[in-house]
Amino acid sequence: MHAAAIRFDLHVPQSRSLKAKRAVIRPVVDGLRHRLHCSVAETGFQDQWQRAEVTVALVAASDGHLRDMIDTVERFVRTAADVEVLDVEVAHFDTEGTLA
Measured in whole angstroms, how far is the alpha carbon of residue 31 from the centre of its chain? 10
Query: What's the CATH number of domain 2-93, 3.30.70.1120, 2.40.50.100, 3.40.50.720, 3.30.70.1400?
Result: 3.30.70.1120
**pLDDT tens readout for residues 24-49:** 999 999 999 999 999 999 999 999 99
Asked if residues 25 and 83 have their Cβ atoms less than 8 Å apart, the reply is yes
Entry pTM: 0.90
Task: Give the pLDDT score at 97.
Answer: 60
Angle, in degrees to the nearest 10, between helices 63-78 and 18-34: 150
Count how many Cα atoms sit within 13 Å of the Cα of residue 94 in the half-sphere of its side chain. 4
